[in-house]
Amino acid sequence: MQLQAGDKAPDFKTKDQDGNVVSLKDFKGKKVALYFYPEDDTQVCTVQACNLRDNYAELKKNGITILGVSPNDEKSHKKFEAKYNLPFTLLVDDDLKIANKYGVWAEKVLYGNRHMGIVRSTYLINEDGKIHHIIKRALSKTHTQQILKGWGII
């Protein structure tokens, strides 16, 4: 069953780029943008992360916590964070449990070839832990604007 706005956001527990254990419950009472991306330090994922970095003050001003999720491990996340000076949390999903809970591990087609991968998407989760809005096609260059629009801020 596909998640929809109004559904309770599936909880998870994983590690971040610093080895800290993080759970969605830790962010109760806050607005969260849980964004899924395929891989650290690849061209499109880097553009997306840097768009969030460059607009981080605006997101923070509006009370939005950014959590990035990909199948990469802690070491990869730490390197990605350091290389691009990312001010937000990157979550490890190397077993794809979070991606599967949110339905973002799916078949994709690239140059006519079918393969499984992360569908670039973002879940906006409200202070009560419910899904407020889903960005099903996150655009790397304008992702911040999509998030702000999804929250009704712009």
Residues known to be catalytic? 45
CB atoms within 10 A of CB 74: 18
CA-CA-CA-CA dihedral for 107, 110, 5, 99, to nearest 10: 50
The beta strand positions in 19-92, using DSSP E, are: 21-23, 31-36, 64-70, 89-92
Q: Coil, strand or helix: which one is 61?
A: helix
Quick one: DSSP state of residue 129?
A: S
